[in-house]
Amino acid sequence: EPTDFASAVDWLKIYNLPGKPDIQISQMFPADALVSSPRAEKARLYSAIEQRLEQSLKIMDGIVSSRVHVSYDVDTGDSGKTALPIHISVLAVYEKDINPEIKINDIKRFIVNSFASVQYENISVVLSKRRDIIEQAPTYEISEPVFAYDKTMPVSILLALMSIATCWLLWKYRAIL
């Protein structure tokens, strides 16, 4: 119904709808695509991994949405220098009454097991509780009618009395002349 439009828009915002379509690795690396530089391939691979981790985290109980960011050294392997440690940050929004400490440990354990060379202390997780949805009936402001009887009636009576007094005075004045 049109009266529920505002609530419907709130629901869409809260649940990030419509959501991004799930990404498949085959979409990131189509078979008929030209081969790009190793750096570009590495960046695309890490981007695909981030998106897949986000999708997987949303399957966890209570997680509504998530973002994963992986820091990586694009120069590793090109110049022969030692690789810098990978750092991963996760931002997750949850909706149920869960213990945040337990959920953070679950997310860290999931992330550390997704990479071969990530250390547990190099993973940061920030949890945010989704705001509660408050459904309420639409409110309408009741405006006063343009001609409110409680205000116009006294003014009308006063104008009528003034008109009668004016007519009486004019009649009286004519009688004198």
Per-residue pLDDT of the chain (177 residues; tens, 9 = 90+): 666 777 777 777 766 677 666 666 556 666 566 666 777 777 778 888 888 899 999 999 989 889 999 987 766 655 667 778 889 999 999 987 888 899 999 999 999 999 888 899 999 999 998 876 666 555 556 666 665 666 777 788 888 999 999 988 888 877 665
pTM over 0.75: no
DSSP code of residue 69: E
Those residues with Cβ within 8 angstroms of residue 74's Cβ, 6 or more apart along the chain or in another chain: 39, 42, 43
Q: What is the pLDDT of residue 4?
A: 75
Q: What is the pLDDT of residue 116?
A: 84
Q: What is the pLDDT of residue 136?
A: 58
Residue carrying the six token digits 């097991």: 113
Best CA proximity match to 92, nearest among 74, 80, 104: 104
Q: Which residues pair with 125 in a beta bridge?
A: 90
Residue carrying the six token digits 């973002």: 67
Structure tokens at 143: 């405006």
